[in-house]
Chain A
Amino acid sequence: MMMRKKLSIFLAAVMLLGLTACGSKTQEAKQEEGFQPALDTSIKGSINVAGGYSNFEALENEFDRFNEIYPNVELIYTKIDDYNNMIGTVLNGNDAPDIYVNNSWMYGREQYKASIDHAENLADPALGLDLDCIRDNILLNTEDGTLPMVPVFSSTYGMLVNKDLFEKEGLSIPSTYPELVAVCKDFREKGYPNPMMGYTADEKTSIYTVVSYPFFYSTIAGNDEAVDKMNALDPAAGEYMRPTITKMEQFLNDVGVDGSACASIEDNYEAVILRFFEGDVPMMACSGDAVSGTKKRESLSDQFTKNPFQYVFVPIPMADEGAYFLDIPNLQFSVNKDSKNLEVANEFMRFLVTSQELNEMAKNKGLMSPTKDLSFDSRYAAFGEIPESRILSPEEIGLTDDAVLQLRMAVYEYATGKLSIEDAIKGFGTYTQ
């Protein structure tokens, strides 16, 4: 009996030691598989990341994960007021950040020169960033081949789909325009007066823009002449908008958008989400930015809290062959090449620019990940299934903001009944915000 007890204690101790050893081995193996620190992990330092968000919890989560490897590195996120206008001043001032949010549209604009000039070339192989994990569409090099910024989130346009309603009514999420038309008809017949809704108060992210924008890009993709003319605001370039406005006419006829119902949605973010969470709208057109706010607002919606449902974000199938995925970089990071903590800042970027960390941060933020793997987040998984041929990159196509504004306004003016198709097309080059 005594012997058996001693043997049990001995075996328990051996098992415990074994488990401990296994644990450490597992941890080591995990580290071996993933990020490998390039610096002494006891290094001390601080990294200040500047951005326009009031708070950036998803990034702070990454700080914490980075601290698991480098516990003595302090990472701070600082919100810069009037970010786009101030970042240049900040970069030249006493509080210059080590890493900062940048925008590709700042390329070539004198006003934002400082933001580009301060950026380190992240394509430098010496930095060891895993750029291959990022979708090529949104990884934008400058003309001289440098890479001043890398996307950490991406965005697109699409629609939130109430999966439970589709299942309840025995319908499938549409993947082609005819399917979309049919589904809307079916929902209407089943007592859903507004199968698709969206924000309509202004043109920028109205349902009309969200629906037509990807389709428009599909019509000019690869047509450099069209792009050039549109960028030049050539009045004749208005014709390039005709297929899109005509499609909008068709859409309005086939699907139907209740303008008065949509007018109750006061903004393109929270109001959109809360209206969708009321549970009676099968499809809600919106931008990817709005999707990022859904998680937090689930608890803010009484209806959703009482009757929760499953939902996903899918591209709107405006073409007969299917939907187009407009792949837009949402937030991009640059490293201040004049940073006093450049070595540690680069190490953090090396840590962050991996499929695992970018996906983790995107998931926490609720935005679309810039990586090639979108399957990890069910909300955006549908976009990962879009074939390469229907993925469009506005950045690559190269339309200027003013050109895009002409489209948005034309579509919006038509869709809201203010202009006819012809007048809307004729108005190209004259629209202002």
Chain B
Amino acid sequence: MRKILIITVNIFIMAAILIAVVVYSRYESEASYRRQIENFENTTVTMERVTENYLEGEQRICDVWSRYISNSHMTMEEAIEFIRNSHVLGNTSAHLISIDTLEGLSTRPKQGTTDDYAVSYKRVGLLEDPSRISENGESINITRAYTNPMNGEQSLAFCDRVVLVDAKTHASVDAVLLRVIPISALEQKWVFPQTELENAELSLIDANGDYILKGSNFKNSSILEFYKSYNQTDTESSSKLYDSITSSTGSVSMINSHGQECILAFTPVSASDGWTLLGLVPAKDLHVERNNWLLFGAVSAGLLILFLCDLFYMLGLNKRLLITAMEAESASKAKTDFLSTMSHDIRTPMNAIIGLTTIAEKNLGDEESTKENLRKIGLASNHLLTLINDILDISKIESGKLKLNPLTFSLVETVENLVNISQPMIKEKNIEFGFHINRVEKEYLYADELRLNQIFINILSNAIKYTEPGGSVSVSLKEEQSDVPGCVRLTYTVADTGIGMSPEFMESMYQPFSRQTDSRVSSIQGTGLGLAITRQMVELMGGTITCRSEQGKGTTFTVALDISEADRQREEMRFEDMDVLIVDDDEIVLQTLSDDIRSLGASAEVTGNGEEAVKMINNRHKDGRDYSIVIVDWKMPDMDGIETIRRIRNEAGPAIPILMMSAYDWSDIEDKAKEAGANGFVSKPIFRSTLYNKVHEMIGEEIKSVEPEDDYSDLNGMHILIAEDIDINWEIISNMLGMFGITCDRAENGRVCVEKIRAAARDSYNLIFMDIQMPEMNGLDATVAIRKMEDSWAGNIPIVAMTADAFSENVTECMNAGMNGHIAKPIDMKLVVKEIRRIRHDAEKRQGA
């Protein structure tokens, strides 16, 4: 209904425009028509001038002759002979007619004769009243069109009275000289110059309106009769018209004998006795309407095209609107579904946290139960945090706001972090875990470490999650040459022997909130966002992600990324005169590790089991050529690493440095390893630099006992200023830091923080943990204010953001404001400690420098 209304309105507007065009065209046409009429009037006036000039010229000739004849007292024969001799034009003649007899002589003989010059005007009816002929030179004396008695041609005659001498009596004879000209000669002068006036005709009328010369379209004997015969008029009107025509210049519209509208233009012939020149042209010849119709047609076509375009555009727009509406509806449904899912997924860990907290409160006396509850609360909290982070990520990805924040980072640290994070789950599920590094030479890369780490963790954690206890997860990180200049291609492959995925699920596995419908899966915590985020991030980084999976057999994800090399790379590493024995049942590890050691300038021997290793060490020991260092894997068949170390120590003594390596959590075997005689520990995968550092550390510092990881004595006595407006957050962080012997002062907002630093004694604070969103002055402004302080200690005091603004751009903002680090809330104390140590280490290095 509305569409019909719009179309109707459009058609109405089109019709209105067309009417306007027609009205305008008609107005223009009328204006043009009026101009054409004016032009025709002017042309008629011009023709009058031409006619008048012609008539005056002919009359003048006649006047000259008549004056000469009258003055010369000629007889008629002499006069006609004189004129005959003066004649030059072939189509004209002259007649001398006696007024008394109306007979006379012609300059040319009668038609069909050679010597008969006699001419009579008795029956012509022209010269009955010679008094109408004015005096010589006064005006044009021209007859009406008449039949030349000598040749029958329709002619005009210019007249003058002359006085002749009778040849016999010598008496004066009054006569009329007629210079006779065929009408066709005058008609030749009456050709309208414009092509649009080709149908125009002229007539000459006398003072009575009778035709002197008559164009073929002029009818009747007079113009008035002509007008009255074909036009509705009354006596008064026709009388007025007649007066107008015979006394002025102008034009009038009239109907001709064909019933056509014509324009009659009229103008007086000045040199005559009341004559008027008339011009008559069909009105249609003056109308130039063709262009108007062309304009009308063009506008119509244009409007039609516009209308159709609009129509189709509207239809298209409506279609898009419909699609948009459907999409909005779908989005609304998706939002509802999302909220429903979120509600479920958030409530689940929250339920655990609240429930376990309640249980813990009731069992405060039961230390074991409380510990267990707190551990589970921690797990649920972490899950909740992951869920929140994922939701934030996916929302940013879908809104297109996710931006990469590339920085130089250490791939070694990234992988170590990855392994560290994975260790608890691997340990919990007792999964066989392997991590192979293959030809990774570029340790420092330039990319968004956070997102890269997220990709690695998501895939690995999925593999671990969906691999049942006793299964295996194998990770491979390979560096290859990239097609992109300045980049290396990292291929990250995670293969598991987990539950696998169905082909149907694989089609939609990258969709947010996609989780396989499987009884085994339902017991596994997950948001269904991990893979969606991973793929988006891989694509954002210009990489590819592929997957092979078979239900019940396992899944292999492969991510390939071209990552820029960092400008900074590890300085050249070199071992001097070293023999290294590598003991591992994993052939790949033996191969890659021995290649690394050899590339570092040392010699390497390998063996796949502990028994063989003990023999090789003993043999060397007996020869007095102990290995410079022995690297032993923990998990090996037959004889594990701990037993192997114990045997080495028993048989070869404590002198040989032994480094234990494992892809598992070091803390689980720490005590046993140390007891067996291990000097150090290195986590798989082992990068070349890691190996170099570790070996160099052991060789350089002789045999050094492994420092326990939970020794936080280095933190004891540190004093930190915490800018935090929320009381509970202050309470948490201050208490947690207090557990490490760190004392804290609180600044309730950024302004207080700045004032406290300004007022503080030098070195009174080791660093500042700065919240960002605070009243009065936020953390960023406070940082800027502190960095501007003149006091070098105050101006350079380490500031680490401790904020819930956890996105990469937030991190960038913090760094740009002058901060030294960023810790996202909720805080992970391990990260906090690590950050404190990093800051302290950097400070010590600066002091040392």
Q: Which residues of A contact B (CB under 8 A)?
A: 54-55, 57, 60-61, 63-64, 67, 74-76, 78-82, 85-87, 89-96
User: For chain B residues 650-678, which have a beta carbon within 8 Å of chain A?
Assistant: none
Minimal beta-carbon separation of B106 from chain A (angstroms): 13
User: With A54-B221, A60-B257, A81-B125 known to touch, is A89 a contact of B154 (CB < 8 Å)?
Assistant: no
Which B residues are in CB contact (< 8 Å) with A94?
A: 151-153, 182
Minimal beta-carbon separation of A99 from chain B (angstroms): 15
Closest to B123 in A: A82
B147–A90 touching, CB < 8 Å: yes
Question: Which of B151, B154, B257, B258 has the largest number of chain A CB atoms within 10 A?
Answer: B154
The 6 lowest CB-CB distance pairs between A and B, nearest first, are A90-B152, A82-B123, A55-B221, A93-B152, A89-B152, A81-B147
A60–B219 touching, CB < 8 Å: yes
Interface mask (B255-266 → A, CB under 8 Å = 1, otherwise 0): 001100000000
Q: Give A38 to B152 CA distance when docked, in angstroms.
A: 33
Minimal beta-carbon separation of A41 from chain B (angstroms): 16
Instruction: Let me know if B681 is at the binding interface, CB within 8 A.
Output: no
Closest to B125 in A: A81
Minimal beta-carbon separation of A198 from chain B (angstroms): 27
Question: Which of B110, B146, B147, B220 has the largest number of chain A CB atoms within 10 A?
Answer: B147
A95–B124 touching, CB < 8 Å: no
Instruction: Let me know if B624 is at the binding interface, CB within 8 A.
Output: no
Which A residues are in CB contact (< 8 Å) with B151?
A: 89, 93-94
Which B residues are in CB contact (< 8 Å) with A87?
A: 152
Instruction: Let me know if B229 is at the binding interface, CB within 8 A.
Output: yes
Identify which of A57, A63, A67, A95 contacts B153 (C-beta below 8 A).
A95
Minimal beta-carbon separation of A50 from chain B (angstroms): 9
A57–B219 touching, CB < 8 Å: yes
A80–B152 touching, CB < 8 Å: yes
User: For chain B residues 96-147, which have a beta carbon within 8 Å of chain A?
Assistant: 110-112, 123-126, 146-147
B153–A93 touching, CB < 8 Å: yes
A81–B258 touching, CB < 8 Å: no
Minimal beta-carbon separation of A89 from chain B (angstroms): 4
Instruction: Let me know if B149 is at the binding interface, CB within 8 A.
Output: yes
Instruction: Let me know if B216 is at the binding interface, CB within 8 A.
Output: yes
Q: Give A92 to B126 CA distance when docked, in angstroms.
A: 23
Q: Give A107 to B420 CA distance when docked, in angstroms.
A: 146
CB<8 Å pairs between A and B, sample of 6: A55-B219, A82-B149, A89-B149, A92-B152, A93-B153, A94-B153
Which B residues are in CB contact (< 8 Å) with A74?
A: 216
Which A residues are in CB contact (< 8 Å) with B257?
A: 60-61, 63-64
Minimal beta-carbon separation of B159 from chain A (angstroms): 16
Question: Which of A67, A78, A94 has the largest number of chain B CB atoms within 10 A?
Answer: A94
Q: Give A78 to B112 CA distance when docked, in angstroms.
A: 22
Q: Give A257 to B678 CA distance when docked, in angstroms.
A: 177
Q: Give A74 to B199 CA distance when docked, in angstroms.
A: 12
Minimal beta-carbon separation of A51 from chain B (angstroms): 11
A85–B219 touching, CB < 8 Å: no
Q: Give A67 to B152 CA distance when docked, in angstroms.
A: 28
Q: A89-B110, A92-B152 are in contact. List 18 more A-B contacts (CB 8 A).
A: A54-B221, A55-B220, A64-B257, A74-B216, A81-B126, A81-B149, A82-B123, A82-B124, A89-B111, A89-B149, A89-B150, A90-B152, A92-B112, A93-B151, A93-B153, A94-B151, A94-B182, A95-B154
Minimal beta-carbon separation of B451 from chain A (angstroms): 64
B216–A76 touching, CB < 8 Å: yes
Closest to B219 in A: A60
User: With A57-B219, A60-B257, A89-B151 known to touch, is A81 a contact of B146 (CB < 8 Å)?
Assistant: yes
Closest to A93 in B: B152
Closest to A91 in B: B152
Which B residues are in CB contact (< 8 Å) with A76?
A: 216
A78–B154 touching, CB < 8 Å: yes
Closest to A54 in B: B221
B interface SS class: loop
Q: Give A91 to B220 CA distance when docked, in angstroms.
A: 24
Q: Chain B, interface size: which category?
A: 20 to 34
Identify which of B110, B112, B123, B220 contacts A57 (C-beta below 8 A).
B220
Which A residues are in CB contact (< 8 Å) with B112?
A: 92
Q: Give A94 to B112 CA distance when docked, in angstroms.
A: 12
Identify which of B149, B182, B219, B258 contacts A86 (C-beta below 8 A).
B149
Minimal beta-carbon separation of B672 from chain A (angstroms): 96
Q: Give A75 to B219 CA distance when docked, in angstroms.
A: 11
Which B residues are in CB contact (< 8 Å) with A95?
A: 152-154, 182
Minimal beta-carbon separation of B243 from chain A (angstroms): 19
B258–A67 touching, CB < 8 Å: yes
Q: Give A61 to B150 CA distance when docked, in angstroms.
A: 32
Which A residues are in CB contact (< 8 Å) with B147?
A: 79-82, 86, 90
Which A residues are in CB contact (< 8 Å) with B149?
A: 81-82, 86, 89
Minimal beta-carbon separation of B553 from chain A (angstroms): 70
Which A residues are in CB contact (< 8 Å) with B225?
A: 55, 57
Which A residues are in CB contact (< 8 Å) with B219?
A: 55, 57, 60
Q: Give A80 to B147 CA distance when docked, in angstroms.
A: 6
User: For chain B residues 213-246, which have a beta carbon within 8 Å of chain A?
Assistant: 216, 219-221, 225, 229
Minimal beta-carbon separation of B144 from chain A (angstroms): 9
User: For chain B residues 76-96, which have a beta carbon within 8 Å of chain A?
Assistant: none
Minimal beta-carbon separation of B50 from chain A (angstroms): 23
Which B residues are in CB contact (< 8 Å) with A64?
A: 257-258
Which B residues are in CB contact (< 8 Å) with A92?
A: 111-112, 152
Which B residues are in CB contact (< 8 Å) with A96?
A: 152
Which B residues are in CB contact (< 8 Å) with A91?
A: 152
Q: Give A60 to B112 CA distance when docked, in angstroms.
A: 32
Q: Give A93 to B221 CA distance when docked, in angstroms.
A: 25
Q: Give A336 to B124 CA distance when docked, in angstroms.
A: 23
Q: Give A87 to B221 CA distance when docked, in angstroms.
A: 21
Minimal beta-carbon separation of A109 from chain B (angstroms): 17
Minimal beta-carbon separation of B256 from chain A (angstroms): 9
Which B residues are in CB contact (< 8 Å) with A93?
A: 111, 151-153
Closest to A68 in B: B258
Which A residues are in CB contact (< 8 Å) with B221?
A: 54-55
Which A residues are in CB contact (< 8 Å) with B125?
A: 81
Which B residues are in CB contact (< 8 Å) with A61?
A: 257
Q: Give A80 to B153 CA distance when docked, in angstroms.
A: 9
A86–B216 touching, CB < 8 Å: no
Which B residues are in CB contact (< 8 Å) with A82?
A: 123-124, 147, 149
Which B residues are in CB contact (< 8 Å) with A81?
A: 123-126, 146-147, 149
Which B residues are in CB contact (< 8 Å) with A67?
A: 258
Minimal beta-carbon separation of A164 from chain B (angstroms): 25
Which A residues are in CB contact (< 8 Å) with B110?
A: 89
Which A residues are in CB contact (< 8 Å) with B124?
A: 81-82
Which A residues are in CB contact (< 8 Å) with B152?
A: 80, 86-87, 89-96
Minimal beta-carbon separation of A179 from chain B (angstroms): 40
Minimal beta-carbon separation of A416 from chain B (angstroms): 29
User: For chain B residues 137-180, which have a beta carbon within 8 Å of chain A?
Assistant: 146-147, 149-154
Closest to A55 in B: B221
Q: Give A47 to B753 CA distance when docked, in angstroms.
A: 121
Q: Give A79 to B213 CA distance when docked, in angstroms.
A: 12
Q: Give A344 to B229 CA distance when docked, in angstroms.
A: 27
Which B residues are in CB contact (< 8 Å) with A75?
A: 216
Q: Give A89 to B153 CA distance when docked, in angstroms.
A: 9
Closest to B215 in A: A76
Q: Give A93 to B216 CA distance when docked, in angstroms.
A: 21
Q: Give A90 to B257 CA distance when docked, in angstroms.
A: 28
Q: Give A121 to B152 CA distance when docked, in angstroms.
A: 24
Interface mask (B161-205 → A, CB under 8 Å = 1, otherwise 0): 000000000000000000000100000000000000000000000
Q: Give A359 to B395 CA distance when docked, in angstroms.
A: 102
Q: Give A82 to B124 CA distance when docked, in angstroms.
A: 6
Closest to A74 in B: B216
Minimal beta-carbon separation of A101 from chain B (angstroms): 13
Q: Give A111 to B229 CA distance when docked, in angstroms.
A: 38
User: For chain B residues 694-713, which have a beta carbon within 8 Å of chain A?
Assistant: none
Which B residues are in CB contact (< 8 Å) with A86?
A: 147, 149, 152
Minimal beta-carbon separation of A62 from chain B (angstroms): 11
